[in-house]
Amino acid sequence: MKIAVVGATGLVGRKILEVINERDIQFTELIPVASEKSVGKKISFKGKDWTVVSLQNAVDQKPDVALFSAGGETSLKWAEAFAANGTFVIDNSSAWRMHPDKKLVVPEINAGELTINDKIIANPNCSTIQMVLALAPLHKKYKIKRVVVSTYQSITGSGILAVNQLENERNGIDGPKKYPHVIDKNCIPQCDDFSDGDYTKEELKLVNETKKILGDNSIQVTATAVRVPLVGGHSESINVEFEHEYELADIRPLLEKEEGIIVLDDVKNSVYPMPINAHEKDEVFVGRIRRDFSQPKSLNLWIVSDNLRKGAATNAVQIMEYLIKNNFIG
């Protein structure tokens, strides 16, 4: 099996390679793809040096699967070329997520919708993945009416330039900047560019992707996304209003039995999810589970996940694993 990793030298691309190694995905050839300035360089992986190639070179090699993490513009330009050669494309950008003919997949929720004909598969936004993984079993049992979410997102979600900016600020170095403001010891209530109604694109992703993944356009979602000076891990404060009443005692076991979720909720002993718990983990951590006393049939949750792993790389690799398991590839 040939695996292409597009954007192999970036934060998510490198994490994809780590996850492939950890999960012992069997392959015969790795095709690392990066920008033209990186073509010809070597990447060491699984005890072997692999040469970085161009996108056209990778297309011509007809890999079985291509994991894209090189931005929406690259995905829009090249994904269909790979797919035309029979390659399954798993795309981590926003390019194909809301396309009506493309599946938006969190494997634990809706991988079963995939068919052999789904050559371009969209990986959801990192903040969406962790939220819907926790919401899916609740929606199935109680039917979600409305979600209010505020995020506390790691700077790693905006790439290596943001990480470098924070490190430079902490070391008193004046270097290139990802953000228009100082990030160290600060919170910036802007993730991505502003769009309709003065919501950012990140906030609108939470709105639109949630409805598509859960398969219910009636769910109302409003979001505020905030960038915090943290290297690794997104946190979310979530308020959920249901159509049906619930018993608080039923929520915890409902979440605990779901694949990919770990409940940390013992406030008497100061046990609750924090980014440090999620670091380099593939699970989504849920805690601070409590009834909202201000609104009927409503619940508060605190959700944390490693945004580079389950929020990006791991979810993409899990989609590939599903394709392998169901004999779509390999």
- Say whether 69 sits in a helix, a strand or coil: coil
CB atoms within 10 A of CB 250: 11
Which of 139, 191, 234, 279 is catalytic? The answer is 234
Q: Is 33 helix (H, G, I), strand (E, B) or coil?
A: strand
Token duo for residue 94: 């926003």
What secondary structure does DSSP assign to 209-269, as a single string? HHHHHHT-TT-EEEEEEEE-S-SS-EEEEEEEEESS---HHHHHHHHHTSTTEEE--BGGG
What's the helix, strand, coil split of the chain in %, to 5? 35, 25, 40
Catalytic annotation present for 126: yes
Query: Is 191 an annotated catalytic residue?
Result: no
Give the C-alpha separation, 137 to 251, whole Å: 9
Give the active site residue among 126, 181, 244, 279.
126
Per the CB < 8 A criterion, the answer to whether 179 and 227 are in contact is yes
Please give the full DSSP string across 94-138, using - where no structure is assigned: STTTT-TTSEE--HHHHGGG--TT--EEEPPPHHHHHHHHHHHHH
List the strands of the sheet with 234-242, edge to edge: 220-227, 144-153, 234-242, 298-305, 284-291, 261-263
- CB of 292 within 8 A of CB of 148? no
Just list the catalytic residues. Answer: 126, 234
